[in-house]
Amino acid sequence: MSIRGRAVALALLAVAASVALELLAGPGHVLDPSPWRGPVWASVALVAVLFAVLAWSFAGRRATLGLLLSAWALVWGPQAQRSLQVSPALGWVPAGVIGLTSWAHPPTGVVLGVVGPALGVLARRARFQSSSPVAGVDPGPHPDVLLVTVDTVRADSELVDLGRFPAEDGWVHYEGAVAPAPWTLPAMISVMRGLPVAQHGGGLPAAGGFTSPVDGASLAERFAARGYLTHALVSNPHLRSGHGFGAGFQTFQHSDDSREPLAAAHAVLGRWSDLRGRVPPVRAGRDRRLVDRAVRLIESPADDPRLVWVHLLGPHEYARAPQNPPPAWVPGTEDLDVLRAAYAGNVEVARDQVLALAAAADGWVIAVTSDHGEAFGEGGYRGHGRGLQDAELRVPLVVRRPGQAGGVHREQVALHELGDWLLGSDEAALEARQTVSVGGVRADAGAFAQRHGPDVYDVDEAPAPSGSLLPMSSDTRSALEELGYIDHP
């Protein structure tokens, strides 16, 4: 074999060895997709062929190896850094070292080109292995609890219809559930702390980020104090541990931390999806992986009672990633009829996923709801977080407690009181309210109101308290941009 041929073969061997090491190391995150899929191997093959074609255009052993290993290093370097939740820019440092070494001393470059990715994958895997059991607390006869929140679901959707969540099976439907805020961050802080936004003041837009809550223990901390094992499997850039949602959870798994298990596949599939105007596979399948992981967790034996929180994002992504796209759907469409159909399809998929979770958690206390709704022309716009109106604030809510009779309640209830119900006794019920405090519009941190009834809101002049700043990380910013929030938040 010629020198050029040996150089190409050696470089491709380095690529193959790196891929093999990633596979042997296993996924770096519990929510990573499986590597045993056709698109993954196709993307790896594409990278290898591209390397080979480029290599044959260069003469000389060092030039060939330098080119190939530099390219390979630039594929996995930033990806490995991102998986470790470190700035992807740092990935250029090891990539540069491998590239320069490959030109100066090819054998050493090959070794670094194999060892570097392997160390990055192993470090990533260690980064996400965490569990710290609660000790010294007598759990008593507490039931297991499953909380499912589905992003961006209107009250008039089919997420928890009576046909699939029948009252005779113990499901209690609250048709007057009102979310604390019309977008995720302040609304879910309220749900997790049991307080309206006007009282905790968290999740409101501020220069460089968001405000932090000033009051209230987290729901997970309250459960942990009772001896519960607490687990969260969530998807939404706002629901980060750095925003306080990890407080009290022993394991906190976020879909934004998942990656294609092969660095080359992550780079190629992501770029290919961008060119086609599609959502990358690692994002499109995140809810399914969340549910699969949650079902395995629920079905696994445990000596102590558990709180499991699952947050699904599918309905939020109807405009960019319809699960059952209607015939007229095209990327970027603003046709409201088409978007309503795409939205209904994503809600239907989410409903089936919720049913799978409920079936696995038979005998558990279960609550299913949403963080906020979605406007389709109400208020003169499409979306959420822009106004205090029923389209964005009324959400579905269905609960089931073993031994408790089902039914339908049409009175107005406050979603921020759901945590108290989850922690309550067998006789606990969400209390009907004459007024519900709402607020936290994205463009107006001072917009608050009292809801009295269907689309009846009185402006509340009392300002919310202001906590310290929750700065927006670069990862959160990038994830929000991927979801279409170009003008943050």
What is the reported pLDDT for 398?
98
- For residue 401 the two structure tokens come to 């407690």
3-state secondary structure of 238: coil
Assigned superfamily of 145-258+304-482: Alkaline Phosphatase, subunit A (3.40.720.10)
Q: pLDDT tens digit string along 23-54?
A: 554 555 667 776 655 565 565 566 666 665 65
What is the reported pLDDT for 460?
83
The closest alpha carbon to 364, from 67, 144, 157, belongs to 144
What is the reported pLDDT for 482?
73
Question: What is the residue extent of each domain of the chain?
Answer: 3-127, 145-258+304-482
CA distance 286 to 256: 9
What is the reported pLDDT for 396?
98
The closest alpha carbon to 264, from 54, 10, 66, 17, belongs to 17
Sign of CA dihedral 147, 406, 299, 261: negative
Read off the amino acid at residue 36. Answer: W
Q: E-strand spans in 390-466?
A: 397-400, 407-414, 436-441, 444-453, 456-459
Residue 36: exposure state from Cβ atoms within 10 A (0-12, 13-18, ≥19) = exposed
How many Cα atoms within 13 Å fall on the side-chain side of residue 453?
Answer: 0
Low-confidence ranges of the chain (pLDDT < 50): 25, 59, 128-140, 488-489
- For residue 6 the two structure tokens come to 């040996």
What is the reported pLDDT for 283?
78
Sheet arrangement for strand 469-471: 205-206, 209-211, 469-471
pTM of the model: 0.78
3-state secondary structure of 312: strand
- The whole-angstrom distance between residue 266's C-alpha and the CA centroid of its chain comes to 18
- Give the CA-trace dihedral at 22, 12, 93, 67, to 10 degrees: -160
Read off the amino acid at residue 19. Answer: V
The closest alpha carbon to 264, from 19, 10, 84, 34, belongs to 19
- Report H helices in 84-196: 92-104, 106-127, 184-193
Q: pLDDT tens digit string along 137-189?
A: 343 468 999 999 999 999 999 999 999 999 999 999 999 999 999 999 999 99
By the 8 A CB rule, do 394 and 384 touch?
no
- How many helices, marked H, and strands, marked E, lie in the chain? 15, 16
Pairing mode, strands 229-234 and 306-312: parallel
